[in-house]
Amino acid sequence: MSYFNRRGPSAFGRPAADGSAVLSPWAARRTSFRLTEFAQSLPWEDLRYTFWIPAYLICFALLEAIPLRRYWATQLPLDQYIPYCSWFFVPYSMWYFLLILTGIRVFYTDRAAFRRYMAFMSVTAWISVVFWVVCPNGQDLRPASPDGLFGQAIATLYSVDTSTNVFPSLHVVGSIGAALSAWDALWKRDRVYCLCVCALAFLICLSTVMIKQHSVLDVIGGAALSWAAARRIYRERSALR
């Protein structure tokens, strides 16, 4: 009886006298059970392939924070003939959406293709990190004051993403990886989507040199690394087809 006098109706999850709500022990237990049940229902055998992402982001942030006094400059004479075009910031910034949305759609369509996608991205990312440590590199193509319609956005990009650790270009690698994954998992189901992904991937690769974020050599390096990784990761898939 004293329990009811002390807690009142709030003990059963109804509002207390002060207006607050207190969950009953039974409600709290049910909530905990549902969260545990949800966690256990997740496909961890496939999601574990994403665990490399936070580790890579930490390594990338640490490398970006280290100032480089000497580095291999990757620009070529050909880069001087490529015009700066600020509106290419639009496809460049869509790189993040391309990778995430493609990953989500492939995950819910073909788990084996998703694992290949994550394998491709993780292998190329870690090879790039090792190369940046062994051979520090950068480019000297950025305009001092970016102008144009998206000039301020590009200036902000320059301030948060340094001009070092540019070879190979991970924007190129990621774009090719997303296009390969879409082709691998979705070609028979949605060819229009696959063609759109390939077109956007091409524009993103082109944007890297148009906004002077990468040199032509960085793009070539990214394409070469993608080719080497794809031959290894997608070779078995091609044989099955």
> pLDDT (tens digit, 9 = 90+) per residue, 44-81?
677 788 888 999 999 999 999 988 889 999 999 999 99
**Same domain for 120 and 98?**
yes
- 91-148 pLDDT tens trace: 999 999 999 999 999 999 999 999 999 999 999 999 999 999 999 999 999 998 899 8
**The total number of structural domains that make up the chain:** 2
**Same domain for 6 and 52?**
no
**Same domain for 37 and 55?**
no
**Same domain for 151 and 62?**
yes
**Same domain for 113 and 168?**
yes
Q: How far apart are CA 105 and CA 144, in angstroms?
A: 40
**Same domain for 55 and 33?**
no
Residue 230 has pLDDT above 80, yes or no: yes
Q: How far apart are CA 218 and CA 235, in angstroms?
A: 25
- How large is the average pLDDT for residues 10-32? 52
Give me the pLDDT at residue 6, please. Answer: 46
**Same domain for 81 and 107?**
yes
Contacts of 79 (CB under 8 A, 6+ apart): 139, 141, 209, 215, 216
Show the domain range for 19: 1-41
Q: How far apart are CA 183 and CA 177, in angstroms?
A: 10
H or E segment and range at residue 100: helix 95-109
Chain mean pLDDT for the chain: 85
Tell me the three state secondary structure of residue 8: helix
Residue 82 dihedral angles phi and psi, to the nearest 5°: -90, 120
Give me the pLDDT at residue 8, please. Answer: 46
Q: How far apart are CA 127 and CA 170, in angstroms?
A: 11
**Same domain for 16 and 101?**
no
Give me the pLDDT at residue 177, please. Answer: 97
**Of 81, 95, 96, nearest in space to 209 by CA:** 81
**Same domain for 210 and 195?**
yes
**Same domain for 20 and 97?**
no
What are 21's strand-pairing partners? 15
**Same domain for 124 and 15?**
no
pLDDT band at 35 (very low <50, low <70, confident <90, very high): low
**Same domain for 37 and 49?**
no
